[in-house]
Amino acid sequence: MAQPLQSLCFISFLMPSEKSFYVTTAIAYVNGDPHIGFAMECIQADAIARYKRLMGFDVHFLTGTDENGTKNYESAQKEGIPPQEFVDRQSKKFQGLKTLLNLSNDDFIRTTDQKRHWPACQKLWKKMVEKGDIYKKEYEGRYCTGCERFMTERDLVNGKCVLHKRAPEILKEENYFFKLSRYSKQIIKLLESNTVCIVPQFRKNEILNLTKEGLHDVSFSRPCNVLPWGVPVPGDDTQMMYVWCDALTNYISAIDYTGEGSLFKKFWPADVHVIGKDIVRFHAGIWIGMLLSAEIALPKAEFIHGFITHNGEKMSKSLGNVVDPQEVIADYGTDALRYYLLKEIPLGNDGDFTYELFKARHNADLANNLGNLVNRVHTLVSKGGFTDFTVGNEANPCRTKVEETWGKYEKTMDVYSLHEGIETVWALVDFANQEMERTKPWALKNQPEEQKKVLCSQLEMIRHISVLLSPFLPKTSQIIRGQIGLSPEMNRETQQKWGALTSWKKLGERAILFQRRE
């Protein structure tokens, strides 16, 4: 169930004066190709961004690529090409998700961007140095190349990394460290008070348990002879920034933290970071500590999603069960994939992708429930021949259901319970189909006024469905609006009310929304 509006961060979203909204995804590591897990994260962030725009917010939506670090450097070496050539090629694949997934991101940041990103990282580093939170020491520890971090005993199971199933290397290096331990107690208070709100609640409990064990200082650089590819440490040409001050800084480098210009002043602090459960400790620990050290405002919320499995198994190249979003979209279209990932993956939990369930959802929900509803109403209105689609303001079951739907929809979407938001829309789709069977407008040929009244109510429900669907299935929403004779543009203030349109008189061309697959 959706969580109540219990935190300060959610309350601030609803205040009329707060009309700007900043949402980010994690930046994708480019040593591999885009996979369905990152596609889900982008789609979730996009649904949030589109919903906030619908509600009248000025939204800035950021995604990007993490292009520095050991893994990218080594991948380029294996291919025998320069690192920059490698990351340029790989980053283009992730930039292509904007078209593939129909994303509405306003910006795309690359960590190899020497004009925007590097200066921001170095400015932040210097701020932490001034605070006395960066120090240099020789360190020996267990290093997981896959995670790109040093690990402690408590991070390992049977001596192996939980994610990568192999024992870390033992490395001895002289690195710069960040005094994260200095902020441990402060971070606990911030998380407990929901100053930084972790969604959902059980993810908050997990990170709090880890934080209460004590946050340790973390390595923030590596020697250039080990890591020659990345952002240089200011004032020390023997060291390269390592992961955290580089990667995490993207959220502010993209909006001009360097110059602290208009974008930074307008959109920081971020309203929500959309991230995977495997990097919560870095965002709810290290990132908050960095911002506290540099005296920068903290993000308001972090939305934590789970992993996608395939037939109950973790996706792995070695198992050959990785789902390629491009293949799914080539067969079924972007909105079918968006629907499945937003509907079937509950808030914060892991979810399973199977082609059998995907096809079943496509046929039952999209082709039958939604597609047939729009098709039947369009056909009957066309045959009816009337050209005034105005509905009255009197109370009726359709109006009551629409108004109830908007209330539930906003309540769930404001707390990022996206699967409940889309279920709320589908409850209205189901209701409209049930009303078709109850009222039987096709049998009212001899009662033209009653038939018109019933069908106009159906058209009005479909109009509301098109608005409510727009964050989830943006292309389908536009197609529906075209079929019922409306422009793609919409907003809550002018179209949320029952009977808001008074000069609506013409249908568009009918088309099949989703082709049923046998």
Q: pLDDT tens for residues 273-305?
A: 999 999 999 999 999 999 999 999 999 999 999
Model confidence at 66: pLDDT above 90: yes
Model confidence at 213: pLDDT above 90: no
- Considering the domain architecture, whether residues 76 and 180 belong to the same structural domain is answered as yes
SS3 at position 386? coil
* Interval 146-180: pLDDT, tens: 666 677 776 777 778 776 677 887 877 899 999 99
Which pLDDT band, with edges at 50, 70 and 90, does 12 fall under? very low
- Considering the domain architecture, whether residues 244 and 382 belong to the same structural domain is answered as no
pLDDT for the residue 155? 74
How many domains does one find in the chain?
A: 2
pLDDT for the residue 1? 43
Q: Which of 90-99, 342-351, 408-417, 474-483 has the lowest mean pLDDT?
A: 342-351
- Considering the domain architecture, whether residues 269 and 382 belong to the same structural domain is answered as no
Q: Which of 6, 52, 41, 57 is nearest to 283 (CA)?
A: 41
Model confidence at 15: pLDDT above 50: no
* Interval 497-507: pLDDT, tens: 999 988 899 99
Average pLDDT over residues 67-77: 93
* Burial category of 321 from C-beta neighbours within 10 Å (exposed 0-12, middle 13-18, buried 19 and up): middle
**Cα distance between residue 475 and residue 170, in whole Å:** 51
Q: Is residue 265 part of a domain?
A: yes
- Considering the domain architecture, whether residues 30 and 147 belong to the same structural domain is answered as yes
Percent of the chain, pLDDT > 70?
Answer: 94
Domain that holds residue 153: 8-305
Average pLDDT over residues 338-366: 93
- Considering the domain architecture, whether residues 159 and 255 belong to the same structural domain is answered as yes
**Which are the contacts of 286, defined by CB distance < 8 A and separation ≥ 6?**
178, 180, 218, 244, 248
**Which are the contacts of 303, defined by CB distance < 8 A and separation ≥ 6?**
44, 48, 199, 272, 273, 274, 275, 416
- Considering the domain architecture, whether residues 295 and 389 belong to the same structural domain is answered as no
* Interval 417-449: pLDDT, tens: 999 999 999 999 999 999 999 999 999 989 999
Cβ atoms < 10 Å from Cβ of 200: 20
Q: Is residue 325 part of a domain?
A: no
Q: Is residue 152 part of a domain?
A: yes
pLDDT for the residue 102? 98
Model confidence at 17: pLDDT above 50: no
Q: Is residue 3 part of a domain?
A: no
pLDDT for the residue 469? 97
pTM: 0.92
Q: Which of 67-76, 202-211, 316-325 has the lowest mean pLDDT?
A: 316-325
* Interval 144-153: pLDDT, tens: 766 666 777 7
pLDDT for the residue 14? 40
Model confidence at 259: pLDDT above 50: yes
**Cα distance between residue 127 and residue 330, in whole Å:** 48
Q: Is residue 65 part of a domain?
A: yes
pLDDT for the residue 514? 96
Containing H/E element for 28? strand 28-29
Q: Which CATH number is 228's domain given? A: 3.40.50.620
- Considering the domain architecture, whether residues 269 and 171 belong to the same structural domain is answered as yes
User: Which is more confidently placed, 401 or 394?
Assistant: 401
SS3 at position 259? coil
- Considering the domain architecture, whether residues 291 and 205 belong to the same structural domain is answered as yes
Average pLDDT over residues 200-217: 91
Q: How far is CA 133 from CA 50, 181, 283, in A?
A: 39, 10, 18
Q: Is residue 313 part of a domain?
A: no
Contact 98, 64 (CB under 8 A): no
User: Which is more confidently placed, 35 or 24?
Assistant: 24
pLDDT for the residue 317? 63
pLDDT for the residue 164? 63
Average pLDDT over residues 302-309: 94
Q: Is residue 330 part of a domain?
A: no
Model confidence at 456: pLDDT above 80: yes
1-28 burial: b if 16+ Cβ within 10 Å, else e: ebbeeebebbeebeeeeeeebbbbbbbb
**Cα distance between residue 187 and residue 208, in whole Å:** 9
Return mean pLDDT, the chain. 91
- Considering the domain architecture, whether residues 183 and 257 belong to the same structural domain is answered as yes
Which pLDDT band, with edges at 50, 70 and 90, does 222 fall under? very high
pLDDT for the residue 316? 67
Q: Is residue 518 part of a domain?
A: no
| Residue at a domain's end among 305, 336, 363 | 305
pLDDT for the residue 195? 97
